[in-house]
């Protein structure tokens, strides 16, 4: 047996773990939250005392991560679009499609924001997460529609020409069936007064994966201005029920 084939000692494994979980940024240590490790298939978290004893001269990061685009002191939704949303094209294409279809500004905004959950931090249940992020700042019709598109997109509505997306058959297999909580959400949504707003997200969504489409965030600045209540203190500093979500996006590697 050669040297490399030997089982790693516990302390060596602990060292490797620490290495994986942190980044040293000059005098600061940026630590990954448990979720980032769980997404790699590891239920692990960095131990504060172990990291500190390995880096006795450094403090943990408690503010902005210098590897990420800088955010202004009073960030707006537009700043998050530009600096924290990893995928803009799909959102802009959906909203552009809705705009060209002559829909109301609420529908256009709902399309523009429908996948902010995915674009910023999470896939699972992204409609619920996204709705919660925007809820304090938009009309309830918009956040309701964003939340419910999570369920509606799995169910056809021939009255508006919406079929189960071909793409989902490719992505999830022909035998995929939504979980009971999604079916129940769909049943509840069907007779709701905002049903069609959420349905319009689905209708504009399926056409919106053209990588060559020319779309501009600038086309939506006015609609955002009229329909998104930008807090004066900056998004994240306004003590709304979802302000912490925006702060976490701004500072995802803060120690606490």
Residues near Fe ion (CB under 5 A)? 115, 205
Q: What share of the chain is helix, strand, coil (3-state, %, to 5)?
A: 55, 5, 45
Nearest CB to Fe ion, comparing residues 18 and 205: 205
**In the bound complex, what is the minimum distance in angstroms from residue 29's beta carbon to Fe ion?**
35
Nearest CB to Fe ion, comparing residues 56 and 211: 211
Q: What does the DSSP 8-state code read for residue 28? A: E
Residue 84: count other Cβ atoms within 10 Å of its Cβ.
19
Give the Cα separation of 218 and 224 in Å (integer): 10
Nearest CB to Fe ion, comparing residues 2 and 212: 212
Nearest CB to Fe ion, comparing residues 28 and 149: 149
| Region of residue 230 (left: phi > 0; alpha: psi -120 to 50; beta: else) | beta
Give the Cα separation of 91 and 216 in Å (integer): 10
Rounded alpha-carbon distances, angstroms, from residue 112 to 98, 129, 187, 228: 9, 15, 25, 11
**In the bound complex, what is the minimum distance in angstroms from residue 127's beta carbon to Fe ion?**
6
**In the bound complex, what is the minimum distance in angstroms from residue 81's beta carbon to Fe ion?**
15
Burial 176-211 (b: 16+ CB within 10 A, else e): eebeeebeebbeebeeeebbebbbbbbbbbbebeee
Closest CA to 80 of 255, 241, 236, 256: 236
**In the bound complex, what is the minimum distance in angstroms from residue 126's beta carbon to Fe ion?**
6
Strands 59-60 and 28-31: parallel
Nearest CB to Fe ion, comparing residues 89 and 230: 89
**In the bound complex, what is the minimum distance in angstroms from residue 112's beta carbon to Fe ion?**
11
**In the bound complex, what is the minimum distance in angstroms from residue 199's beta carbon to Fe ion?**
13
**In the bound complex, what is the minimum distance in angstroms from residue 210's beta carbon to Fe ion?**
13
Two structure tokens written together for 204: 């504009």
Nearest CB to Fe ion, comparing residues 124 and 256: 124
Backbone angles phi, psi at 29, to 5 degrees: -115, 120
Two structure tokens written together for 250: 């701004």
């Amino acid at each position: 047996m050669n040297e490399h084939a030997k089982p790693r000692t516990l302390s060596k494994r602990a060292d490797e773990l620490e290495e994986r979980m942190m980044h040293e940024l000059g005098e600061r240590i940026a630590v990954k939250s448990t979720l980032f490790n769980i997404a790699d298939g590891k239920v692990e978290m960095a131990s504060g005392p172990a990291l500190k004893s390995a880096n006795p001269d450094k403090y943990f990061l408690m503010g902005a991560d210098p590897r990420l685009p800088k955010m202004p002191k009073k960030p707006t939704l537009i700043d998050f679009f530009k600096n924290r949303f990893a995928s803009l094209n799909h959102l802009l294409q959906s909203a552009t499609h809705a705009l060209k279809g002559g829909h109301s500004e609420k529908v256009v905004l709902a399309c523009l924001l429908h996948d902010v959950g995915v674009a910023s931090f999470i896939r699972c249940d992204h409609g619920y997460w996204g709705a919660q992020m925007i809820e304090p700042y938009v009309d309830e019709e918009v956040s309701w529609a964003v939340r419910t598109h999570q369920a509606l997109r799995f169910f056809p509505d021939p009255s508006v020409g919406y079929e189960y997306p071909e793409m989902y058959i490719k992505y999830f297999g022909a035998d995929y069936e939504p979980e009971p909580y999604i079916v129940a959400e769909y049943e509840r949504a069907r007779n709701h007064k905002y049903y069609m707003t959420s349905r319009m997200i689905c209708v504009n969504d399926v056409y919106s994966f053209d990588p060559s489409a020319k779309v501009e965030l600038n086309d939506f600045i006015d609609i955002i201005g009229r329909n998104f209540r930008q807090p004066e203190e900056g998004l994240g500093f306004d003590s709304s029920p979802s302000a912490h979500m925006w702060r976490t996006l701004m500072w995802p590697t803060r120690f606490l």
